[in-house]
Structure 1
Amino acid sequence: AYLSDAIGRKWTFMWSAIGSFIIILIYMFAPMDNTTLLFAGIPLFTIFLMKFPPMGPFMTELYPTGVRGTAQGFCYNAGRAIGSFLPAIVGFVSQSLPLGATIALFSAFASAIMIVMLLLLPETRGRSLASLDEINPAEGASVAPFS
Structure 2
Amino acid sequence: MAIGIWIFGQLADKYGRWRIFLVYQAGAAVMVLFYARLEDPLSMLLTGAVMGVFVNGMIGGYGALISELYPPQARATAQNVLFNIGRGVGGFGPLIVGAIAYSYSFSAAIALLASIYVLAMLATILLLPQDKGRNNELETVLKPTD
Q: TM-score range by the shorter chain?
A: 0.7 to 0.9
Distance 1:108 1:131, change over 3 A: farther
Could you tell me how far apart the structure 1 residues matched to 2:79 and 2:140 are?
A: 15
Q: Which of the two has higher C-alpha Rg?
A: 1
How much does 1:25 deviate? 1.1
- Pairing partner for 1:107 from 93, 98, 113: 113
Q: Which runs of 5+ in 1 are unaligned?
A: 134-147
How much does 1:87 deviate? 1.7
How much does 1:130 deviate? 6.5
- Whichever structure has more helix as a proportion of its residues is 2
> Normalization by structure 1: what TM-score?
0.76
Aligned-residue CA RMSD (Å): 2.3
Task: Kindly indicate whether structure 1 or structure 2 has the higher relative contact order, using CA contacts under 8 Å at least 6 residues apart.
Answer: 1
Q: Which runs of 5+ in 2 are unaligned?
A: 1-8, 142-146
Question: Share of identical aligned residues, percent?
Answer: 27
- Pairing partner for 1:125 from 126, 132, 136: 132
Find the residue that maps to 2:49 and give its secondary structure.
Answer: helix
Could you tell me how far apart the structure 2 residues matched to 1:129 and 1:25 are?
A: 39
The answer to whether the 8 A contact 1:9-1:124 is kept is no
> Normalization by structure 2: what TM-score?
0.76
Task: Give the match for residue 9 of structure 1.
Answer: 17
Q: After the TM superposition, which segments of 4 or more aligned residues of structure 1 sit over 4 Å from their partners?
A: 130-133
